[in-house]
Structure 1
Amino acid sequence: MSPRLEDLPLRDDLRGMSPYGAPQARVPVALNVNENTHPVPKEVADDILDAVALALRDVNRYPDREFTQLREAFAEYLGHGLTREQLWAANGSNEVLQQVLQAFAGPGRTVFGFAPTYSMYPLLARGIGSRWVAGERGVDFTLDADSAAAQVAEAHPDVVLLCSPNNPTGTPMPIDVIERVYESTDGIVVVDEAYWEFAPRDERSALTLLPGRERLVVSRTMSKAFAFAGARVGYLAADPTVADALRLVRLPYHLSALTQAAAVAALAHAPTMLATVDDIVAQRDRISATLEALGYKPFESWTNFVLFGGVEDPAATWQGLYERGVLVRDVGLPRTLRVSAGTEEETSAFLDALASIDSAS
C-alpha cells in the first residue's frame, strides 16, 4: 500500500498546506492564468531556435554560472542606467522571489504583504519557514501611503512584498506608497512588477527609485509581456550587493545554457515581442467596458487581466463559461471572477459566452 502524505516525516509547518495550482483543462479559450495568448512571432521563434541549437553544441558543459550575457541584455532592456551587476535572473520570477526570501527571510523571520495579493507569496514564505503577515487594503483594493507605511512599521517585517500592479486585483500601486513603505522599514522591500509592461506608459516604475536605496528590489518576468511563460525566465534589478546575497543561496548553474540562449535571443527582439502589449491592453479595456455594460463591476487594472465583481454565483458562472469552452479563474474573492485579456477572438468568445449565460438566467 502506498504511503499517504500524512505518513511521511513532513515538516510540521507544512502539514495541511495546499500547493499552488490553477485548473488546467483543454478548452478552446483558456483565459485563467494571465498568460500572453499571442504566439511568439515566427521571426523571433526562428532566432530563438537558432540560438538554442547553437547552445546545444556545448550542452555537455555547465552553463555560464553568472549568465553574464543575459544580465547585460536585461540591463539594456530596462534602461534607467542599470548595469549587469545590478541584474539577477532565475527560472521564473517565483524562483527569483524564493531566492530573495532564502537570503533575507527564513526561520524566525517575517514576510509581509497586503492581501489580497499574489497567492504564491504566503506559500513561498511558509516554504522556507518564515511567518507570513497580511496587511489590509482599502476600498476597491487600493493602498494609501500613510496606512501602508503604518501597517509595515507595526509589523516590523524582514521582507515586504509589494505587487505593483497587484495580482489578482489588477490594482495600481502609487509610487508614493512604495517610497513610504521603504522609509517605514529596515527590511528588504521587493516591488514585484510582473505586469508592469501593461501599465500606462507615462507612469513611473519602481526602477526609478533604486538609486540610493540598497534595500529595494524590483522584480520582473518575461512570462507576460514577452509571451515566454513556458520558458520560465524571471529577473530583478537591485543594488549589486543584493546579487551577492543571492549567490549565497542559489543552486549551482541554476539557469541552463538553453534558457539563457533563448532569453537573450528573445530580448534582442524586444520591440517585436512587446508589440502585442498594446493589443492586449486594448482587449483588457474592451473587457472592462463591456462588463460594465452587462452590469458587472470591473476593477481598475494595469495588468493583462480584469477582476470583476457583481457575480451573484461565481461557481455557476465559472461552470457556465467552462461549458461554453471558456476557462476563467475564481480567485476566491466573494462575488468575483478574473479573466485574462487574450486576442480579439478570445475576448469576443468570453464576452459572448458571458452574455449568453446572462440571457439564459
Structure 2
Amino acid sequence: MTLPDWVPVREDLRAFEPYGAPQLDVPVLLNVNENPYGPSKATADDLAESVREIASDLNRYPDREAWALRTDLAAYLGVADPAGVWAANGSNELMQQILQAFGGPGRTAVSFTPTYSMYPEYARNTHTRWVTGRRAEDFTFDLDEALRLIAAEQPDVVLLASPNNPTGESLTLESVRAVCEAAPGLVVLDEAYAEFRRASTPSALEVLAEYPRLVVTRTMSKAFAFAGGRVGYLAADPAIVDALRIVRLPYHLSAVTQAVARAALRHVEESLARVDELRATRDETAGWLRAQGLDVVDSDANFVLFGTFDDRHAVWQGLLDRGVLIRETGPQGWLRVSIGTPEETAAFRDALVEVLA
C-alpha cells in the first residue's frame, strides 16, 4: 500500500503498512493463534439468547462502565474489587489506552525483543518514545539486561508479554518483582495466553496486590474461543483503571459485546477443558518437531516457535502450497505454528515432512 502524495496523513505514518497477518482461504489456518474449537452448541445458544434479550433495547446506549461484565471478569480472575478490572475491544485497545494515559509525547516505553510486533505500533500511534532491549540468545528474559535498560531509560511504561509472543516462554515471579521494584512508572504484564501456561508457571496476578503500578492484561480471544467477540480485560489498582477511563472513548463496548462476553464467561469450565486438550497437543507438537531435528522453544502458549531455516519463507510458502498457513514472524530463521485440532495438526505434520524432504 502506498498513499498518494495528496493524502495529508501524518508524515511519520506515510511509510507504514497496516498491521495484519495474512487472511487466506486455505484448509488449515494455524497462523494467528486462534482457538481451533468454536463454541459448543450450548454456548452458542446462550450467546444468541443473550443478544435476543437485549435486542429491543439497542436504541439505548450501553453501560459505558461495563459494570456487570467487569464484575464477572473480576470473579473469574479472583479479584475482589471489580473497580480494579477494566475491559475493552480486545487487548489491543487496552494497550492503546494504556499508552494514551501513561505514554505520549515526552514519555518512554520499553520492551525486549523478540516480542509482540504490535507494541511499537501502539507507541508510534500515541507519540510515545519506543526503546527496545534484547532477550537472551535462547529468547529467555534477560533480567540483568532489563534492569540495566530500565535504570538507563527510566521508562514511563514497561511492556512485557508472559507468555511471550512469538516465543512462548513465561516470566518468573522473581523477574516480575525485580522489574516492578526497578521501574519508576507502569509495568504491564501482557498475559494473553495465560490459560495455556504449564501447571508450574505462575501468573503476575499472584503479586498484583504488592505493586500498585503493576497491570496484568488478558484476553477472551484465545482460551475462550472468542476472537471474533473482541474483548480484552485487565486487572490493576482501581486508580490505574480510573486513569484509563479518562482516555476511553464513550460507550467503547457495545451492549452486544458486553452481553455475549458475559454469556461466554458462563461456560468457562467447558472452555478451559478445551485448553487442556490444546496444551497437550502443543507439547506433543513440540516433541514431534524436535524429533524432526528442528530447534523448538518451550512454550506456555497455544503456539510453538520452531526453526531454524536458511530460507524460512520458502518453508512457509511450501506449507501454504499444501494448504497449511502458519506465521512467518519473529527472529529470522524461525516460524510459528498455532496449535490446531488433531486433524489440522496431522495436516501440518504431513505438509512439513514433504517440505523438508
Is this a same-fold pair by TM over 0.5?
yes
What amino acid is aligned across from residue 52 of structure 1 in structure 2?
V
Aligned to 1:210, what secondary structure does the other structure show? Answer: helix
Greater mean deviation of Cα atoms: 174-183 or 146-155: 146-155
- The answer for the alignment partner of 2:50 in structure 1 is 51
Between the aligned partners of 2:283 and 2:3, the Cα distance in structure 1 is 47
| Aligned 8 A contact 1:111 1:157 in 2 | yes
What amino acid is aligned across from residue 48 of structure 1 in structure 2?
L
Q: 1:315 aligns with which of 313, 324, 330?
A: 313
| Aligned 8 A contact 1:93 1:235 in 2 | yes
| 1:39-118 correspondence runs (5 A) | 39-79=38-78, 81-118=79-116
| Aligned 8 A contact 2:278 2:302 in 1 | yes
Residues 10-50 of structure 1 deviation map (CA, whole Å, 9 limit, x = unaligned)? 22222312221111100000000111111111101110110
- The answer for the alignment partner of 1:26 in structure 2 is 25
- The answer for the alignment partner of 1:222 in structure 2 is 220
- The answer for the alignment partner of 1:269 in structure 2 is 267
Deviation at 1:332, TM superposition (A): 4.6
Change (3 A) 1:52 1:138: same
| Aligned 8 A contact 2:166 2:330 in 1 | no
Q: TM-score, normalised by structure 2?
A: 0.97
Aligned to 1:6, what secondary structure does the other structure show? Answer: coil
Between the aligned partners of 1:250 and 1:307, the Cα distance in structure 2 is 35
Between the aligned partners of 2:5 and 2:210, the Cα distance in structure 1 is 48
Between the aligned partners of 1:202 and 1:57, the Cα distance in structure 2 is 47
Is 1:347 matched with 2:335? no
| Aligned 8 A contact 1:110 1:130 in 2 | yes
| 1:134-283 correspondence runs (5 A) | 134-283=132-281
Between the aligned partners of 1:290 and 1:4, the Cα distance in structure 2 is 45
Greater mean deviation of Cα atoms: 204-213 or 189-198: 204-213
Between the aligned partners of 2:279 and 2:12, the Cα distance in structure 1 is 41
After superposition, the CA RMSD in angstroms is 1.2
- The answer for the alignment partner of 2:14 in structure 1 is 15
Work out the percentage of aligned pairs sharing the same amino acid. Answer: 55
Unaligned runs of 5+ in 1: none
| Aligned 8 A contact 2:134 2:142 in 1 | no
Residues 129-173 of structure 1 deviation map (CA, whole Å, 9 limit, x = unaligned)? 111101111121111333322222212111110000100111221
Q: TM-score, normalised by structure 1?
A: 0.96
Change (3 A) 1:119 1:77: same
| Aligned 8 A contact 1:163 1:192 in 2 | yes
Between the aligned partners of 2:86 and 2:134, the Cα distance in structure 1 is 30
Aligned to 2:119, what secondary structure does the other structure show? Answer: helix
Structure 1 consecutive aligned stretches of length 4 or more whose deviation exceeds 3 Å = 3-6
- The answer for the alignment partner of 1:133 in structure 2 is 131
Between the aligned partners of 1:150 and 1:41, the Cα distance in structure 2 is 48
Deviation at 1:243, TM superposition (A): 1.1
Q: How many residues align?
A: 356
| Aligned 8 A contact 1:145 1:177 in 2 | yes
Between the aligned partners of 1:74 and 1:209, the Cα distance in structure 2 is 18
Between the aligned partners of 2:258 and 2:239, the Cα distance in structure 1 is 22
Aligned to 1:139, what secondary structure does the other structure show? Answer: coil
Unaligned runs of 5+ in 2: none
Between the aligned partners of 1:312 and 1:14, the Cα distance in structure 2 is 32
